[in-house]
Amino acid sequence: MRPAPWILILGLAVAGCDQPAPPSDKDTSAPSLPQGDCGAEKLQGLVGQPASVVRQMTLPQSARVIRPGQAITADFRPDRLNVEIGKDGRIGRIGCY
C-alpha cells in the first residue's frame, strides 16, 4: 500500500474539522450614501407649478435650476438642492443630489 493517498485522505479529513472564524463586530456591508438635508422635502408642493415660481424664490447658493437638455455635473452632493424644469415649463422634480 502506498502512503501518499492515505496522507492525502487524512489531510482532507482533518481540514474538514476546522471551525469557521467567529463573526466580527465590524460592519462589512457597503457604506451607504450620506443623507443630506437640502430642504427638498419642504418644497415638494412646488412640483407642477410654473418655473416662474422658482425665479421669485431665494435659493441656497449651491442650488441648481436644471432646464431640459441642460448639461450638469454628475457629482453627488446630498446637500445641494436641484430643481428640474420640465419641457412644459413647469417644475418636474425637486431633490437633493
- Examine residue 21 and state whether it is found in any structural domain, yes or no: no
CATH number of the domain bearing residue 87: 3.30.10.10
Range of the domain at 62: 34-97
Strand 91-96's sheet: what is its strand order? 64-66, 81-85, 91-96
Q: Which residues pair with 85 in a beta bridge?
A: 91
pTM for the full predicted model: 0.62
- Examine residue 87 and state whether it is found in any structural domain, yes or no: yes
Q: Where are the extended beta strands (E) located within the chain?
A: 64-66, 81-85, 91-96
Q: What is the average pLDDT across 48-74? A: 95
**How many angstroms separate the CA atoms of 68 and 80, rounded?**
19
Q: How confident is the model at residue 18 (pLDDT cuts 50, 70, 90)?
A: low
- Examine residue 27 and state whether it is found in any structural domain, yes or no: no
How many distinct structural domains can be found in the chain?
Answer: 1
The alpha carbon of residue 39 and the mean position of all alpha carbons in its chain are separated, in whole angstroms, by: 18
- Examine residue 85 and state whether it is found in any structural domain, yes or no: yes
